[in-house]
Structure 1
Amino acid sequence: MNINLQELMDKQRAYYNSGATIPVAFRKQQLCLLYDAVRKNEQEVTEAVRKDFGKPEIETFVTEIGFLLAEIRHAIKHIDKWVKPRKAAGSLALVGSKSYIVPEPLGLSLIIAPWNYPFQLALAPLVGAIAAGNCAILKPSELTPHTSAVIANLCAGLYPEEYITVVEGGVDVSTHLLEQRFDVIFFTGSTNVGRVVAEAAAKHLTPTILELGGKSPTIVHQDAKLDLAARRIVWGKFLNAGQTCVAPDYILVHKDIKEELILKLKQEIDKAYDDVMGGSTQFPSIINDRHFERLAVLLKDGSLVHGGRTDAGRRLIEPTLLTDVEWMSPVMQDEIFGPILPILVYSEIEEAVRQVKSRPKPLALYLFTESREVQQLVLENISFGGGCVNDTLMHLSSPSLPFGGVGPSGMGAYHGLYSFEAFSHRKSVLKQTTRFDMSIRYGRSPAAVKLLRRLLK
């Protein structure tokens, strides 16, 4: 690591304490700079992500560049409203006073990004940090070195290091960063590494936003529109070769429609990914050999009903469907994070609900049904970070919806206003009148106590 981290943090703290990041006009200007730079470097970003793991251009634009540009535009449009103090209700005991909630930046931010959407998941949290008025150190993933270099060059050309800096490197760099005293840590990655981050943050009592993962179920009830369900499941599962934290991790399908759903899933896979193992450039590779080998082992679980071919040299695994999988099978123990989709069955919707509830709370849940009663039953009885009814992944596209997990799938949320709030402290302020003084509050007599009891009811 060729950077003096303590010196860098001292510079950032001094810059933050100077108040330079606080004016709203300054924050807007920095967001505009970022927006223009992303547009200007679109081709470099696309090429970098392709070099790192073969993501096709259209996927890169939709999930990395377009998503980020929309997030920046939303912040610029709404930041004036977000920064305003909000009035809070008073009470009879506080007559004459006014109460406010005042958002203020937390200070020095550490953002640790993952590899699966290496550009967007690094810079989308940064949008929140900038909008809220913070300084930031950004650590991209070492598993996507080309994208990491693009991010470092982009930010170095926009911002002074005392404001925003990109620090590249491996696990040792992340470990060293986590030893420092930040004012907020934003981490996106696996649940196991999230525990390490939380433990390190606890030593300084640093607030954390942890965007983790888990096994996100897709429930397909017997009244679902199967053509549409199959198309949307295939799209959501095999986007980015399944390397998406909110990808459908497994299907729970009603026993009466299992075979029909499988047939339609096969048809949709063949339409979308007919030449994965040939010369197609429309399907990403697995990020590295370790992850490829882990996934190759999972292909041995259950019965293979579609796909399953691999190419170790190119780290390719074609979209794969597995049946006859048991809940205790290896493929059902941890998040798959690859193009393998196990299919399990249920007889009654209550059974499906019990099975999902018996496992750790997932980051996402997807339900396909036309029944309002089934929708209500599932949504009221299963806890999950976020999800969709009759779709997959699309809840991420709304800046009005908070994105985050619950329990082992994460803590805290972001996107839109929630990104601003993730990097802000909501300060409570009560302004008391000096025109009069409620002397009763100083009283000690039985009559005063009686009156106070009435006022404080």
Structure 2
Amino acid sequence: MSSPPSPSPARWFKALRRTRLGEPCLKTYPLECVDLLGRARVAFQAGRTLKESFRLGQLEAVVRMLEEHECDFVDALGRDLHKPRFETVVSELILIKNEALHAISNLKKWMQPQHVERNLSTTLDECLVVSEPLGVVFIMGTWCSPVQMCLVPLVGAIAAGNCAIISPSECTAHTAELLHRLVPFYLDNECFHVILAGTNDLPEVVELKFDHVFFTGNREEGSKIAQAAAHTLTPVTLILGGKNPCYVDQHCEIATTAQRIAWARFHNAGQSFVAPDYILCHTDIKARLVQALKCCLMQFYGSDPRESRSFGRMVNLELFNRTRDLLWRSGKVAVGGQVVEAEKYIAPTILTEVEEQDPIMQQDVFGPVLPVLTVNNTDEAIAFINKQEKPLCVYAYSSNSKVISKLMSETSSGSFCSNDSVLQSLMVALPFGGVGASGMGSYHGRHSFDTFSHRKSCLLRSTRFECVTYLRYPPYEDRNLSLMTWASTLSQKTQGWCQIL
């Protein structure tokens, strides 16, 4: 692993205390978290993050860190997830750089106050909305995309002018240690900190009182984080997992559909919050779709995916055992099914003859297993989807635009994508987040900036025209009320309640 660039001596000593270069990174204990939070608060209150030039410098540093240490990130994710270089660069590093560069290009515009429409009573006033930073925010990443889920929200927090404490997932230890080592060398040492905390410690850290909490993870952990944040009335953004349905209509291009679904499901060995969780396919095309999926797996990973350099491994034995048990207790294996515990390897697997009551349909699947269920029509698919909790994503494949429109309008989910998968969760122009059981709040691009900002309403007016506004003051007279009521009727069509105030 290459050494980071040499910073100034003072900065080097600060970083040395935190990173212990050459030694394993140690767990961050609560007292250390209190100290880091205190330092970040002092830096924020001093106005350190407010200037546009500071924010741009930090965003450029994020890009520089990714470019100068691409090989280190590839190595860390390879150790943690057996993640191929291609997947690391495309789905982690490029995505973060795109977010940072988009923020750099648009920051000046985002920071400008937004003027709102004036009315008769505010003709000489100034009405605007100012985006101000929240303060010190806490960002908790997840193990399935351990760099992306830490740094994409961080880009939004930096752009909005916040200080931040980041907690990478303990499940991906090499990636967490790399972030812990590199961040102090690139970002401001008082405003931005990385802690190494266990999942069970996170609610205790949240209770230290941040100004916003951003969490990516499963529903059980998300619920604990939300409860801990509620104790201090801290707002939260939760990006949670869910069983993302994928409807395949009888009118679709089977070969292309199979390729796109197989890529999305088995990318990163199926460890994804946004991958299709199960297929609802029309009965008439089930056999052709399953055969096309088999062909895709052969094309992607060869006859033995275990030997493929393009296929990953489960992040730990706990997830391996859970996924293996779901696989063995549900449906019938159409392809795959092989497991090697010593390698945390589960072959890309397609299950058929799956019933709604099977264990694999009762829990989120974070592994390379794709159940295929059948329905007789679009209405039946919609009814099936709507019986479940609201998912993070809904996917629909059809060449019939009416079918796509029907799925999109009659189901509720955090996001929707037709005739492809996952891409809607990667675009900087689209907000991404959950609804109901799949989370709350959103991020990406301008939406990240807004998530980490308070939109403050501002009315700037003078003391002129007191000859009109005096009507609102006591003692209350019927004549004054009549005048105000009359003024209200003039403005109701466009401005609503009485504008003379």
TM category, shorter? over 0.9
Q: Contact 1:249/1:335 (CA < 8 Å) preserved in 2?
A: yes
Alignment of 1:37-436 (within 5 A): 37-300=65-328, 301-436=330-465
What's the RMSD between the two structures over aligned residues? 1.4
1:347-391 deviations in whole A, cap 9, x for unaligned? 121111111011100000111111121122111110111121100
Query: Aligned equivalents of 1:156 and 1:280: distance in 2?
Result: 36
SS in structure 2 opposite 1:194? Answer: helix
Q: Contact 2:203/2:224 (CA < 8 Å) preserved in 1?
A: no
SS in structure 2 opposite 1:430? Answer: strand
The amino acid across from 2:478 in the alignment is: P
Question: Which structure would you say has the larger Rg?
Answer: 2
Query: Aligned equivalents of 2:457 and 2:419: distance in 1?
Result: 41
Alpha-carbon deviation of 1:175? 3.3
TM-score, normalising length from structure 1? 0.97
Query: Aligned equivalents of 1:100 and 1:448: distance in 2?
Result: 30
Q: Which piece of structure 1 moves more, 151-160 or 255-264?
A: 151-160
Q: Would the alpha carbon gap of residues 358 and 118 (structure 1) be closer, same or farther in structure 2, given more than 3 Å must change?
A: same
SS in structure 2 opposite 1:75? Answer: helix
The amino acid across from 2:181 in the alignment is: N
Alpha-carbon deviation of 1:48? 0.5
Alpha-carbon deviation of 1:431? 1.2
Alpha-carbon deviation of 1:93? 4.6
Match of 1:448 among 480, 483, 486: 480
SS in structure 1 opposite 2:102? Answer: helix
Aligned length: 457
1:138-183 deviations in whole A, cap 9, x for unaligned? 1111111110111111111123432100011313442331220100
SS in structure 1 opposite 2:181? Answer: helix
Unaligned runs of 5+ in 2: 1-27, 493-501
TM-score, normalising length from structure 2? 0.89
Alpha-carbon deviation of 1:277? 4.4
Q: Contact 1:276/1:282 (CA < 8 Å) preserved in 2?
A: no
Q: Contact 2:202/2:225 (CA < 8 Å) preserved in 1?
A: no
Unaligned runs of 5+ in 1: none
Query: Aligned equivalents of 1:96 and 1:316: distance in 2?
Result: 69
SS in structure 2 opposite 1:252? Answer: strand
Q: Which piece of structure 1 moves more, 380-389 or 2-11?
A: 2-11
Query: Aligned equivalents of 1:277 and 1:369: distance in 2?
Result: 29
Query: Aligned equivalents of 1:197 and 1:395: distance in 2?
Result: 26
Q: Which piece of structure 1 moves more, 35-44 or 95-104?
A: 95-104
Q: Contact 1:105/1:423 (CA < 8 Å) preserved in 2?
A: yes
Query: Aligned equivalents of 2:289 and 2:107: distance in 1?
Result: 45
Q: Contact 2:408/2:416 (CA < 8 Å) preserved in 1?
A: no
Identity among equivalent positions (%) equals: 38
